[in-house]
A = this chain, B = another copy of it.
Amino acid sequence: MTQTIQNRQFRLAQRPHGLPEPSDWELTTEALPAPDDGEVQVAIEYISLDPAMRGWMNAGKSYIEPVAIGDVMRAGTVGTVLESAHPDFATGDAVTGNLGVQTHATVRGEQLRTVDTSLAPLPTYLGALGMPGMTAYFGLLDVGAAEAGDTVLVSAASGAVGALVGQIAKHKGCRTVGIAGGDRKCAYIVDELGFDAAIDYKAGNVHADIREHCPDGVDVYFDNVGGEILDAALACLRRNARVVICGAISQYNATESMYAPKNYMSLLVNRARMEGFVVFDYGERYGEAARALAQWIASGDIKHREDIVEGFEQFPETLLRLFSGDNFGKLVLKIEQS
C-alpha cells in the first residue's frame, strides 16, 4: 500500500502590483492523489523560473490565459515518475511538462514527455533543450531569418534565451554582439560563449556602444528587454533589418505605462520589420529544434549554464532574481524530495 504523499504548492493569492510580493503567494499542502487510469504521479525535481511568468500573473487575456487567483502557479518542470497508470510511462522515467510550482503532480500522461538523461542532465531540459532553447532557435532563425554574414545583436545575452541566440547565430556564421549587465556577464559571453563583442548596459552609452560594435548596423536585433535598449537598437538598424520581439523584461513590473519605442520610424527609414512571436506556436517543430540543439551541445558548439537555487520554499524570492539582473544563466529551482 502506497504511503500518502504531501504535495506542497505555491498558489497565486492576489495579482501583484509591480514586483511580486510574498503576500501575492499562498503556500498550500494537500495529499497527492494516486494516479487514476491514464494518469501518472510525478515527483518534481526542478522548476523553471522564467520572465514570462510575470505576465501570466496579470489579469486580462494575453497570448495565454492568466493564472487564476487560487490556482497553482504555472511553470515548466522536470521530474521522475513515481507511479504510472499510463502505458507510455513507468516508475523512474524522467519526464517534463508544465506541472506548475509544486513538489508533486498527478496528471494525464498526455501532459508529459519523457526525456533522455543520457543526452543531458535533467535541468538542461528546462533550458537549452527546453522552452529557452526552442525560443532562441525559432526566434532567431524563423522570425529573425538570421543568415551567415548578418550582424546579430541580442539583449539579456547571458540569460537563458540570449546566450543560446548568440551561440546559434555564431554557429550560423553571423557576427554576434550581446548586451548584458556588468563585467562578469560580459566577459562570460565573449570568453566562454564566443560572442564577438559584449556591451555592458550598466557601464555607459548603449547607443554609442552598439554603433561601435556593429559598425555596419544591425541586421537582426533579438529583444528580450524592451525599454531604452530597444530604442537604442532601433536607432542602429541596417537596411532590411529584423527586430524580433521575444520579451520586454525591463517593463514586466512597470506600474506606470510601458516604455514605448520612440525610434519606431527607423523601421520605415531602414525598410525594417519588428515582429513578435510566441514559442508555443512552434510546438509541431520542437523536435527539429531539439535535435539541432542536442547535436550542437554534444559537439561543444553550444554551451549552457543553469543557475540552480535549492529549496522549494525559496520560490518567491528566487523569482525576483530574474528582474534584478542577479541571476546568471537559466534559473531553476531544485526541489529536495524527501
A interface list, Cβ under 8 A from B: 62-63, 226, 245-248, 251, 257-258, 260-278, 281
Contact = CB atoms under 8 A, between A and B. Distances in A.
A249 to B, nearest CB: 12
A166 to B, nearest CB: 21
Contacts of A269: 62-63, 276, 278
B268 A257 contact: no
A245 B275 CA distance: 13
Closest A-B pairs by Cβ, 3 of them:
A268-B276, A260-B260, A267-B276
A333 B213 CA distance: 47
Contacts of A267: 245, 274-276
Contact of A265 (B248, B265, B271): B248
Given A262-B258, A265-B248, A276 B272 contact: yes
A278 B268 CA distance: 7
Contacts of A262: 257-258, 260
Instruction: Indicate how many identical chains form the complex.
Output: 2
A63 B268 contact: yes
A277 B268 contact: yes
Contacts of A274: 264, 267, 273-275
A275 B273 contact: yes
Nearest to A61: B269
A245 B265 contact: yes
Contacts of A268: 63, 245-248, 276-278
A275 B270 CA distance: 10
Contacts of A271: 63, 275-278, 281
A10 B271 CA distance: 30
A273 B260 CA distance: 16
A16 B264 CA distance: 22
A333 to B, nearest CB: 26
Contact of A245 (B248, B257, B263, B264): B264
A270 B61 CA distance: 11
A265 B271 CA distance: 20
Nearest to A278: B271
A216 to B, nearest CB: 15
A262 B257 CA distance: 8
Given A258-B262, A260-B262, A272-B276, 14 more contacts: A62-B269, A245-B265, A245-B267, A260-B260, A267-B274, A268-B276, A268-B277, A268-B278, A269-B278, A271-B276, A271-B277, A273-B273, A273-B276, A274-B275
